[in-house]
Amino acid sequence: METLEQIKLRLEAALPLTKLDIVPNECPAGDRSLLVDAASGFAAAKFLRDDALLKLDYCSNVTGIDWPEKEITEKIKVKKTVDGVEKEVEEVKKTLRPGFLEAVYHLYSMELKHGPVVLRLRTANRTDRTRLPSLTPLWRGAEFQEREIYDLYGVIFEGHPDLRRILMWDNFVGFPMRRDYVSPDDFEYEPTPHDEVLTEAKKHYPAEPKAEVKP
């Protein structure tokens, strides 16, 4: 199979408006991945599927990943004049990496028996702009997996034929696979609470009114 650089070059030639990046992988045995901007994600995926040299007809694995906001601290050497003497001083530079959600597609070819090409799509942020193009129209195998990402991470896949919650129940609120998700302490309301469930549940009740003392 071609290297990721070659694929990237051909993709850039075929779709000139696509913004592409190669995401490095620090693990030597792992695969590097191709980061495509969300707007042209569908076109790029279609190219990968239909290209005669690649024929990535099999979308094996679709995963969501949550990357919350992170403060990245870097140590930089800065030249400063202290008391008239120029010195090299180490300074800690803090940058805030904005959070985003990511969908990762592992693409293989069943016909040519090669792969994987790892495709990544990123949302603009984690709160209100969590839309990505759905690749289910290209690979039917992504249908349930994209539903799962919607269910557990809250990525909205545009163009998905049937985007509903799949593992959690329909009126569930929240996205449990996000890093900052805090599970409520009573998931299940019990009509007859007892023992530790009762003591736990009592925290949520208003304090009982004191019984009036009658003479």
Partner 1 sequence: MSALAEMPPKNFEVTPKLDAQGEPMGELLEVSMGPHHPSTHGVFRMDVVLDGEEVVKLKPVFGYLHRNHEKIGENISYLATMPYTDRLDYFCSMTNNWGYALTIEKLAGLGVPERAEYIRVIMAELTRLQNHTCLIGFFVQDMGALGTPMMYAFREREKILDLFESVSGARMMCNYMRFGGVRVDVNDAWLAQAKKVTDEYSFFLDEFEKFLTANEILLARTQFVGVLPKALAVSAAITGPMLRAAGVNYDLRKVDKYGIYSRFDFRVPVGEHGDIYDRYMVRVLEMRESIKILQQALRDIPAGPVMDPKAKLRGFRPKAGEVYGRVEGPKGELGFYVISDGSPNPYRYRVRPPSFINLTILEDMCLGHKISDAVVILGSVDIVLGEVDR
Residues forming contacts to partner 1 in the complex (CB under 8 A) are 25-31, 49-50, 55, 57-61, 63, 65, 104, 106, 110-111, 113, 116, 118, 136-145, 152, 161-162, 165-169, 176-177
Question: For residues 30 and 98, which CB has a smaller minimum distance to partner 1 in the complex?
Answer: 30
Question: For residues 39 and 53, which CB has a smaller minimum distance to partner 1 in the complex?
Answer: 53
Min dist CB 55 to partner 1, Å, is 6
Cβ-contact 195, 83 below 8 angstroms: no
- Hunting for tokens 């530079």 — which residue is that? 93
The identity of residue 64, as a single letter, is G
Largest Cα separation within the chain, whole Å, is 94
The identity of residue 167, as a single letter, is L
Question: For residues 137 and 193, which CB has a smaller minimum distance to partner 1 in the complex?
Answer: 137
Question: For residues 10 and 165, which CB has a smaller minimum distance to partner 1 in the complex?
Answer: 165
Min dist CB 204 to partner 1, Å, is 23
The identity of residue 68, as a single letter, is P
β-sheet bridge partners, residue 17: none
- In 123-171 the beta strands, taken as DSSP E runs, fall at 131-133, 156-158
Min dist CB 106 to partner 1, Å, is 6
- Residue 85, CA atoms < 13 Å, CB-side half-sphere: 4
Question: For residues 39 and 110, which CB has a smaller minimum distance to partner 1 in the complex?
Answer: 110
Min dist CB 77 to partner 1, Å, is 25
Distance between the two ends of the chain, CA-based, in angstroms? 92
Min dist CB 155 to partner 1, Å, is 14
CB atoms within 10 A of CB 213: 5
